[in-house]
Amino acid sequence: MKRRPLFHEHFFQHKWSYLLGSVLLSMSLALQLVIPLLLEDFTDGIQHLTIRVSDLWSLAAWFIILGLGIFIFRSSGRIYIFRLSRMLERDLRTKLFTHWETLPAEYYQHERIGNLMAHAVNDVNILRQIGMQGVFQTIEAMVLISITITMMAGTINVYLTLLVLLPLPGLTYLAYRFRTSIRMYSLRVQEAIGTVTSRVQEFCTGIRIIKTYVQEHEEIKKFTKENGENVKANKQLIRSNSLFASYSQGIVGLSYLLSIVFGSLLVMKGRISLGEFVAFNTYLSFLVAPIENLGKVINLFQQGKAADSRLRNVLASEPDIKDEEGIVPLKEIKGEIRIRNLSFQYKNSKGYALRNINLTIEKGASLAIVGKIGSGKSTLVNLLLRVYNPPRNTIFIDNYDIRDLPLKLLRTSIGYVPQTNFLFSSTIKENIAFDPNYYQDNQIYKAAKQAHVYRDIMDFPEGFNTALGERGLSLSGGQRQRVSIARAMIKQSPIMIFDDSLSAVDVKTEERILKTLRSEIKGRTSIIISHRISTIQKADKIIVLDEGKIAEQGTHESLLERNGIYKNMYILQSNEFTLEPSTLPFSSERTVRINKRRS
Ligand SMILES: Nc1ncnc2c1ncn2[C@@H]1O[C@H](COP(=O)(O)OP(=O)(O)OP(=O)(O)O)[C@@H](O)[C@H]1O
């Protein structure tokens, strides 16, 4: 279904508030239009010497009263309308953020962060400006132009009014002519800002690599080029906007010229009084700003249209990983996992990441996955978590196809420590208790102790309240991993997944953590991925993945008997160097060389 422009949605939702704001603003404009009438009387009074000193005082009093009235109504109308535009800004950002949270991981692989930021910042800002200046100046222009023209024609001279208005339809023509170019250039500006923002974001994230690889110059070159594109796009937009504004002023100037020449003639012929001539030109001066603003507003609406359509495109992207129709209203998961004939191919990839996987993990059992880099280990757990959707009828938990389980239940039932440990810019405590459930301090401390990071945290200046991230403390790789483990442990989930979660800690710490984890996760189903045999050798079952297939499976002992990939890995990682090269399975020169080097 085609979605209504976002600004329309907001406008209709708040139509009564906008009406009230318009009424307040219109009242201030109506008061403003009394001024030329006072000036007319005053000028005619001076010309005919009928004015007295007391009239001057009353005129001054009128001006003060009018000024106060204009001030009160205008500022309250302005505050009212501007407040609505801030609400629009808030609602749009919330809508975007909420929508982004529903989108799958895949979406973020294809979208540049800079583009997403440009949507959240620039596009939303443009729509806010429409709600602010756009609405305010449109109301002002419509009210002022219509009443002013009525006053000019009704109270002074209809022919002179028609004459000075003659050039003004040219403004509509101009707006039409510039419409396409302004919209096109503003789209280019927004895209260019997206690119520059992405570059800055990438630069900040990768600053260490850039410096260590001495790529500063190259990065500056790329940035300068993209920044230049941004300036070029802006220049084109400014050129269009300026040309439009200058032509508009020319048209307004022509109206003035006509008013002065023909108005003076009418005064000389006695068809209008000098006071009326002054009042007429004052009215005309009231028309200049709104007519000019109308031009700017038309351009702003063009930019808004582009921003609105970009935002609607973002909001139209459908999350393909969501609760599907007919989900089983299960409340709890026990933890038996069955995988049947699972093959999986990423959308943008040619080959299969997983091929014909068949596997059962009993409730409470532990499974270890080893395999070369890129053999499909993380893919398997990502499918289990439905970060990507597995094909139907391939992965079952407690005999339910995971596609039929409520997504929230599935994910809250899995304590997951990912390969890349992301910590938020908040306190350590908040990073550990990162879950919909509320946790007491002692539960947080317990999880930290289980992950063997409690002592490290207590050594930090503010313990668990120490801030991490941009303006806080940086943790070592091993500390990050252990905080991530604590985050997963606190959930007490029936299924635990550790994806290469101990790679950054030394072997001794690893041993201690594993010992604690084994006793803490007893009775829960666990999956441990690792490149280190030492991490996984005590698992109930070990599978060896090779190019997406299960090449071997069994216990540590049974796999060592097989003289296969697992045993080869074991020997390579083992510190036993007494083995003769001839006894090594797949013994290669490289294996022998490594062993010699070690000894
Ligand atoms: N999002 C993705 N899109 C396309 N291909 C992907 C994606 N993620 C992984 N792959 C590919 O799928 C294959 C398996 O990757 P996966 O990350 O599961 O391997 P892994 O065994 O976990 O590797 P590692 O030990 O390095 O973590 C690889 O060939 C990888 O390039």
Confidence class for position 370, pLDDT limits 50, 70, 90: very high
- Residues 351 and 475 placed together within one structural domain of the fold: no
- Residues 387 and 503 placed together within one structural domain of the fold: yes
pLDDT at 579: 42
305 belongs to a structural domain: yes
Task: Please tell me if the CB atom of residue 349 comes closer than 6 angstroms to any atom of ligand 1.
Answer: yes
pLDDT at 578: 40
**ipTM, 2 decimals?**
0.97
323 belongs to a structural domain: no
Give the pLDDT confidence of 219-249 residue by residue, as tens digits: 889 899 999 998 998 999 889 888 887 888 8
- Residues 440 and 507 placed together within one structural domain of the fold: no
CATH no. for residue 55?
1.20.1560.10
Q: Are 161 and 287 in contact (CB under 8 A)?
A: no
- Residues 86 and 188 placed together within one structural domain of the fold: yes
Question: Per-residue pLDDT for 70 more than 70?
Answer: yes
pLDDT at 581: 41
Confidence class for position 470, pLDDT limits 50, 70, 90: low
Question: Per-residue pLDDT for 597 more than 90?
Answer: no
- Residues 306 and 376 placed together within one structural domain of the fold: no
- Residues 210 and 158 placed together within one structural domain of the fold: yes
Span from the CA of 106 to the centroid of ligand 1 (angstroms): 13
- Residues 94 and 215 placed together within one structural domain of the fold: yes
What the block records as the tokens of 120 is 């959240």
Q: Best mutation site among 344, 375, 531 for ligand 1, i.e. most ligand atoms within 8 A of its Cβ?
A: 375
Task: Please tell me if the CB atom of residue 109 comes closer than 6 angstroms to any atom of ligand 1.
Answer: yes
324 belongs to a structural domain: no
Distance of alpha carbon 552 from alpha carbon 541, whole angstroms: 11
Provide the residue count of the chain.
599
Local structure of residue 52 (DSSP, 8 states): -
- Residues 180 and 264 placed together within one structural domain of the fold: yes
Residues 6+ apart with CB under 8 A from 157: 266, 271, 272, 276, 280
Q: Are 182 and 302 in contact (CB under 8 A)?
A: yes
Residue 349, classified by CB atoms within 10 Å of its CB into exposed (0-12), middle (13-18) or buried (19+), is exposed
Mean pLDDT of the chain: 85
- Residues 37 and 89 placed together within one structural domain of the fold: yes
Residue with the bigger pLDDT between 550 and 294: it is 550
β-pair type (366-371, 525-529)? parallel
Span from the CA of 353 to the centroid of ligand 1 (angstroms): 7
Q: Best mutation site among 354, 355, 379, 536 for ligand 1, i.e. most ligand atoms within 8 A of its Cβ?
A: 379
What the block records as the tokens of 175 is 């707006």
Question: Per-residue pLDDT for 507 more than 80?
Answer: no
pLDDT at 575: 57
- Residues 12 and 113 placed together within one structural domain of the fold: yes
| DSSP character string of 529-544 | E-S-HHHHTTSSEEEE
Give the domain range for residue 293: 6-316
Q: Best mutation site among 357, 378, 543 for ligand 1, i.e. most ligand atoms within 8 A of its Cβ?
A: 378
Task: Please tell me if the CB atom of residue 418 comes closer than 6 angstroms to any atom of ligand 1.
Answer: no
The number of beta carbons lying within 10 Å of the beta carbon of residue 497 is 25
- Residues 16 and 122 placed together within one structural domain of the fold: yes
Give the pLDDT confidence of 193-222 residue by residue, as tens digits: 888 888 888 888 788 788 887 888 888 898
Distance of alpha carbon 520 from alpha carbon 508, whole angstroms: 19
Query: Which residues are paired to 542 by β-bridges?
Result: 368, 554
Span from the CA of 530 to the centroid of ligand 1 (angstroms): 14
Distance of alpha carbon 452 from alpha carbon 502, whole angstroms: 12
322 belongs to a structural domain: no
Q: Are 394 and 403 in contact (CB under 8 A)?
A: no
3 state DSSP class of 322: coil
Among candidate residues 316, 346, 379, the one where a domain is terminated = 316
547 belongs to a structural domain: yes
**Ligand 1, atom nearest to 106 Cα:** 1
Among candidate residues 439, 472, 492, the one where a domain is terminated = 492
Confidence class for position 80, pLDDT limits 50, 70, 90: confident
Give the pLDDT confidence of 261-285 residue by residue, as tens digits: 999 999 999 888 888 898 898 888 8
Query: Which residues are paired to 525 by β-bridges?
Result: 495
Give the pLDDT confidence of 37-59 residue by residue, as tens digits: 888 888 888 877 787 878 888 88
The whole-model pTM stands at 0.70
Among candidate residues 293, 316, 339, the one where a domain is terminated = 316
Whose alpha carbon is nearest atom 20 of ligand 1? 374
- Residues 383 and 505 placed together within one structural domain of the fold: yes
Residue with the bigger pLDDT between 296 and 501: it is 501
**Ligand 1, atom nearest to 388 Cα:** 1
418 belongs to a structural domain: no
**Ligand 1, atom nearest to 382 Cα:** 18
Q: Best mutation site among 349, 417, 545 for ligand 1, i.e. most ligand atoms within 8 A of its Cβ?
A: 349
1 belongs to a structural domain: no
Query: Which residues are paired to 342 by β-bridges?
Result: 357
Residues 6+ apart with CB under 8 A from 187: 306, 310
Distance of alpha carbon 170 from alpha carbon 176, whole angstroms: 10
14 belongs to a structural domain: yes
The number of beta carbons lying within 10 Å of the beta carbon of residue 432 is 27
Count of domains for the chain: 4
**Top-ranked range on mean pLDDT: pick from 171-180, 278-287, 353-362, 574-583:** 353-362
**End-to-end C-alpha distance for the chain, whole angstroms:** 70
CATH no. for residue 546?
3.40.50.300
Whose alpha carbon is nearest atom 25 of ligand 1? 373
What's the helix, strand, coil split of the chain in %, to 5?
Answer: 65, 10, 25
Q: How many CA atoms lie within 13 A of 213 on its CB side?
A: 8
Task: Please tell me if the CB atom of residue 348 comes closer than 6 angstroms to any atom of ligand 1.
Answer: yes
**Ligand 1, atom nearest to 548 Cα:** 14
Whose alpha carbon is nearest atom 7 of ligand 1? 346
Least-confidence region, from 111-120, 157-166, 288-297, 460-469: 288-297
Q: Are 126 and 303 in contact (CB under 8 A)?
A: yes
Percent of the chain with pLDDT over 70: 94
What amino acid occupies position 57? Answer: W
Least-confidence region, from 133-147, 152-166, 194-208, 512-526: 194-208
